[in-house]
């Protein structure tokens, strides 16, 4: 399988919206996915990440991130989503995408990378632990959506 990774471009937004819906359904929260390609175009300066394309040029996975500053560790990167379509899982695409983010964080002199994983997503937890990630169950999400 020939997979190509590249930075997210504005031309990817329409296709990414479809994957965002898939991811929200996978997370059992489809009603929470309210983003649109139009909103992404208006807010494009905040969109950072990579897409994985198959040999036909179709996006089969994506990862997005943003920079953060944590008082205890300093400059860091936060990985918001890492998603690979069901039929492409187990083929190394998730590893390829997360390694792109890890490399980018190091290139940008970040002190670490943070992300979340759902407590029920045991394959992802196993995957992240294999990378050396420490997963805790101490903190909970607090979302205030406008």
Q: What's the N-to-C CA distance of the chain in angstroms?
A: 42
Is residue 91 a part of any domain in this protein? Answer: yes
pLDDT, position 144: 63
Q: pLDDT tens, 77-119?
A: 999 999 999 999 999 999 999 999 999 999 999 999 999 998 8
Radius of gyration of the chain (CA): 15
Cα diameter, the chain: 44
Is residue 136 a part of any domain in this protein? Answer: no
Torsion, Cα 115 119 123 129, to 10 degrees, reads: 50
Is residue 88 a part of any domain in this protein? Answer: yes
Is residue 46 a part of any domain in this protein? Answer: yes
Is residue 134 a part of any domain in this protein? Answer: no
Is residue 127 a part of any domain in this protein? Answer: no
Low-confidence residues of the chain: pLDDT under 50:
none
Q: Give how many domains the chain has, as a whole number.
A: 1
Is residue 132 a part of any domain in this protein? Answer: no
Is residue 21 a part of any domain in this protein? Answer: yes
Give catalytic status of residue 128 as yes or no: yes
- Is there a contact between 52 and 61 (Cβ–Cβ < 8 Å)? yes
pLDDT, position 102: 96
CATH number at residue 47: 3.40.630.30
Considering 62, 78, 83, 128, which one is annotated as catalytic? Answer: 128
Q: Residue 105's domain spans which residues?
A: 4-116
């Amino acid at each position: 399988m020939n997979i190509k990774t590249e930075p997210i471009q504005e031309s990817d937004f329409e296709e990414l919206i479809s994957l965002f819906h898939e991811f929200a359904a996978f997370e059992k929260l489809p009603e929470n996915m309210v983003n649109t390609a139009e909103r992404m175009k208006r807010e494009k300066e905040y969109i950072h990440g990579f897409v994985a394309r198959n040999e036909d040029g179709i996006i089969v996975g994506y990862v997005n991130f943003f920079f953060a500053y944590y008082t205890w560790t300093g400059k860091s990167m936060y990985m918001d989503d890492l998603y690979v379509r069901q039929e492409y899982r187990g083929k190394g695409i998730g590893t390829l995408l997360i390694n792109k983010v890890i490399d980018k964080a190091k290139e940008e002199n970040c002190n670490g990378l943070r992300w979340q994983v759902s407590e029920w997503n045991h394959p992802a937890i196993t995957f992240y632990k294999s990378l050396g990630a420490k997963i805790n169950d101490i903190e909970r999400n607090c979302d205030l959506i406008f």
